[in-house]
Amino acid sequence: MTMRRMRSTPVPGTRDSYTGIDFNLGFHIRNYELDLTYRVAPNLLMGTATLHMDNYHPLKSLTLDLSNNLRVEKVTAQGTAGTQVQVARFRHSNKKLHITFREEIPVDQEFSLTIRYRGNPRPTRTPWGGIGWEELDNGALVASQPCGAPSWLPSDDTPDEKARFDIKITADNGYMVISNGDLVGRITRGSATTWHYRTREPMATYLATIQVGSYEEVSLGSSKSGVPVLAYIPTGDAKLRERVLQDFRAQAQMVDVYEELFGPYPFANYRVVIVEDDLEIPIEAQGLSTFGSNFATGDGEWERLIAHELSHQWFGNSLGLAQWNDIWLNEGFACYAEWLWFEKSAGVPAAESARRHYAKIAELDQDIVLADPGPKDMFDDRVYKRGALTVHAFRVLLGDDHFFPAIRAYVAEGKHGLVEPRDLWRHLAAACASAGVAESELAAVWNAWLKNPALPAFPEVVTGQA
């Protein structure tokens, strides 16, 4: 049965204005079924991807995103429910796989494409640096935000096209493979082991990950609600292990705090992977986050980033973006979640954190429009911190008794789907009615923080406000 498109706004043109990549139009991918083999030493990836699809336009041809480092060997198609689908030819160039069918596929059909490919995966070159599949000293990781998924699989790599994933990956014995979802099977045959993961919930392609390395699994406890929290630590480094256990010891408590503030944790478990190599930044994927060993110092230096990456499981992973223009919905809430964690765990009011960062932002150029920062500035720290200040301004306007219920309602309604600013507005506006705040006051705060580059006055709590 065909599912409805999850976003509420039409596709804005034919090209993603942030990544500069042409959209793949006319179809939805509902499920990625991947059967991969990875050889670490030569960095060789061999795979078969079966994409289960349906189309909302008649299709004589279609395109998918795939890196030029991977060579397509064969493409076949299979119709369902009596639909005949045959591939006439395919062409792979400029990071696009073009597939032409013998006969046009009528609208609203279900079919699958099976693509066999191999090659040496490399990060995709982007304006933000190399993104995607990355070799480590002894393994590999995938970190794909915003457009790195084609570095390892043929895909419709746009954030508003979520799908379920079924991933089998075979690696040499001695390596552990970690991916999204549940580990549903592990089979060793001779010198190699196949790891089989399956997601329960739909996932954006940029959040799909593969982690290959020599790891041990360590429990970090469970949340009060029973969410298991696990760490994957490089084997053979006792000092690193000790530092990880020290720095990540409060991870389950962080889940408790965020469940209280935002609602139930949206996935079956939460995992952190600490790789041997240093990484520039930590990276979240759906259900897990990846940290370089440089973020495990043993002294709590990076506690805020540990809290930040966890919060993305709500803001960014469960609540997905319809388009990259709205990245403040991910990063503003995740940054504010850092301040909320310290408010709950250390008694440092979020207002104090907000004021400190407001002072820093005030010294910088005021040339970013948060609602649409543009590709050059989408990962600028001002988007993160001004986004968090925007969330704080909403909290100050409504008061805690009305703000937090509105956020929990926003999170619950958007669970495992897509959100846009209009969704947040709707819940904040409803909270205004119960809080006795005029909607025009919300509009003034909204426009000042999101739509104008000038930095508004710091949001002060009115005397007597809850």
pLDDT tens figures, 206-247: 999 999 999 999 999 999 999 999 999 999 999 999 999 999
Per-residue pLDDT band at 466 (split at 50, 70, 90) = very low
pLDDT at 80 over 90: no
Per-residue pLDDT band at 461 (split at 50, 70, 90) = confident
Confidence at residue 39, expressed as pLDDT on a 0 to 100 scale: 98
Answer for the pair 80, 87: CB distance below 8 angstroms, yes or no.
no
Per-residue pLDDT band at 115 (split at 50, 70, 90) = very high
Which of 370, 417, 379, 315 shows the shortest CA–CA distance to 146? Answer: 379
- H/E segment holding residue 68: none
- H/E segment holding residue 107: none
Residue that has been written with the tokens 């958007």 in this structure: 414
Q: Give the bridge partners for 48, in sequence order.
A: 35, 116
Min mean pLDDT across 73-87, 153-167, 190-204, 374-388 is at: 73-87
Residue that has been written with the tokens 């994409």 in this structure: 51
Long-range contacts of 362-368 (CB under 8 A, 24+ apart): 362/455, 366/453, 366/454, 366/455, 367/453, 368/453
Q: What is the mean pLDDT of residues 357-385?
A: 97
At CA 412, angle to CA 407 and CA 418, rounded to 5?
A: 95
pLDDT tens figures, 300-331: 999 999 999 999 999 999 999 999 999 999 99
Number of H helices, E strands in the chain: 9, 22
Residue 438 is given by DSSP the state: -
Full set of structural domains in the chain with CATH: 1-213 (2.60.40.1730), 319-450 (1.10.390.10)
Neighbours of 70 (CB within 10 A): 26
Q: What is the mean pLDDT of residues 59-77?
A: 97
CA distance 104 to 284: 40
Q: Write out the DSSP string of 350-395.
A: HHHHHHHHHHHHHTS-----TTS--GGGTT-HHHHHHHHHHHHHHH
Q: What is the mean pLDDT of residues 394-419?
A: 98
Quote the crossing angle between the two packed helices 381-398 and 328-346, to the nearest 10°.
Answer: 60
| 3 state SS of 404 | helix
Q: Does the model's pTM come out above 0.85?
A: yes
Confidence at residue 8, expressed as pLDDT on a 0 to 100 scale: 58
| 3 state SS of 310 | helix
Q: Write out the DSSP string of 35-55.
A: EEEEETTTTEEEEEEEEEEEE
pLDDT at 192 over 90: yes
Confidence at residue 1, expressed as pLDDT on a 0 to 100 scale: 32
CA distance 275 to 213: 8
pLDDT at 351 over 70: yes
pLDDT tens figures, 13-34: 789 999 999 999 999 999 999 9
Q: What is the mean pLDDT of residues 190-205?
A: 98
Which of 73, 59, 156, 158 shows the shortest CA–CA distance to 109? Answer: 59
Q: How far is CA 274 from CA 215, 222, 268, 311, 331, in A?
A: 9, 19, 20, 18, 22
pLDDT at 5 over 80: no
Q: What is the mean pLDDT of residues 172-186?
A: 98
Give percent helix, percent strand, percent coil of the chain, each to the nearest 5: 30, 35, 35
Residue that has been written with the tokens 């819940």 in this structure: 427
The torsion angles phi and psi of 185, rounded to 5 degrees, stand at -175, 155
Q: How far is CA 327 from CA 145, 238, 374, 420, 445, in A?
A: 11, 38, 10, 10, 19
Confidence at residue 11, expressed as pLDDT on a 0 to 100 scale: 63
